Amino acid sequence: MIDTLYRPGHSAVHSFDCRLKLFLLPLLLIYFFLPLSLPAAGLYTACFAVLILIYLGFRDLLIPLKMIFPLLILITLITPLFHRTGTVLISAGDFTLLTGRGLDETIRYLARFSGISFLFFLFFRSTAMDDILLGLSWYRLPYTLTLVISIALRYIPHLAGLYGQIKAAHALRCSIEDDLPRSRGIGKIRNLFPVLVSLVIQSVKTIPVLTMALELKGIGRSNPRSQSRTLITPESVRIQIFSSLLLIALLITNLILFSSIK
């Protein structure tokens, strides 16, 4: 099986209805790009960090941070150089390294990017891929698209395993007496090429077989034989809808009160 971000659990975030999460996700994402004041933007990002900390634990908070860490350093180093107006805070001779505006912008970008990463991590960590697909179907995403994604998810581990087998089989072709092939740069790609050709051919050969299997299932007929599982509605769905509406109202109020546009 493929190792997805999702980890099962019984927290409030886990039990939150997937359809509500899918509704809130784009709204919460757009909110990062709205003109909030710097403390409000920082607080908004901190909310997601706190949510991860409370519901998923400290280790899970480090996972997205670890992944975006190099980019955060890059933002810190480069952004001040592009915003050089305002009060000079650090300079080397005539060259301005950091200004008040540069610092503001850097913190804003750091908060925004970390916040977006936390938001997506929280969503995919607490929602199973099957539920996401069912939720998207509920929002009238075409059945064929969800079917493609679910078949692809089943095929990824198969093809990954096939790649390992082909690689091992190709490695056996080189005898002990042979010179070892170059394994840097272009040499590495050259060594990989026969493996890639075999993998692609094997993958493509499965298409007619899969087509027949889908036809047997009734795909493309007017009376398909397959049926999707029903998404279970949690008992507390009314509270969840109410809290979602409350959250939206809170965010709008926050935007009105703490907008950076004067």
Partner 1 sequence: MENQTDRSKQNLAFRIAAVAVLTALTTVCTMIIRVPVTPTRGYINLADVAIFFTALTFGPFTALAAGGLGTALADILGGYAQWAPITFFAHGIQGMAIGMIFRASGVDSRGRMILALILSFIAATVIMAGIYFVTGGLMYGFGAAATEIPGNILQNAAGVIVGFPLYLAVKKAYPPISAYRW
**3-state secondary structure (DSSP) of residue 90:** strand
CB 71 within 8 A of CB 113: yes
- Residue 262 burial (CB count, 10 A): 5
Cβ closest to partner 1, residue 117 vs residue 240:
117
Is the Cβ of residue 15 or residue 206 nearer to partner 1 in the bound state?
A: 206
Nearer to partner 1, 25 or 43 (CB): 25
Angle, CA 147 vertex, CA 146 and CA 148 arms, to 5°: 90
Of 221-250, binders to partner 1 (CB under 8 A) are none
Taking CB under 8 A as the rule, does residue 123 contact partner 1? yes
Cα–Cα distance between 13 and 11 in angstroms, integer? 5
Helix (H) or strand (E) holding 105: helix 100-126
Closer to partner 1 by Cβ: residue 156 or 246: 156
Residues 201 to 220: which contact partner 1 by CB under 8 A? 201, 203-208, 210-212, 214-215, 219-220
Q: Using the 8-state DSSP alphabet, how is residue 232 labeled?
A: P
| First-to-last C-alpha distance (Å) of the chain | 53
Comparison of 99 and 117: residue with beta carbon closer to partner 1: 117
Binding to partner 1 by CB under 8 A, coded x per residue (else -) over 157-196, reads: -xxx--x---------------------x--xx--xx--x
From the list 197, 245, 249, 257, which residue makes contact with partner 1 (rule: CB under 8 A)?
197
Q: What separation in angstroms does the CA of 135 have from each of 85, 90, 118? A: 47, 51, 21
Q: Helices 129-138 and 143-171 sit at what angle, rounded to 10 degrees?
A: 150
| Residue of 139, 126, 133, 134 whose CA lies nearest to 152 | 133
Q: What are the E-state strand segments in 65-118?
A: 88-92, 95-99
Identify which range of 53-61, 150-158, 169-177, 225-233 contacts partner 1 by CB under 8 A: 150-158
CB of 117 to partner 1, least distance (A): 5
Q: Which is nearer to partner 1, 13 or 241 (CB)?
A: 13
Length of the chain: 262
Binding site for partner 1 (CB under 8 A): 2-5, 33, 63-64, 67, 71, 74-75, 78-79, 81-82, 105-106, 109-110, 112-113, 116-117, 119-121, 123-124, 144, 147-149, 151-153, 155-156, 158-160, 163, 185, 188-189, 192-193, 196-197, 199-201, 203-208, 210-212, 214-215, 219-220
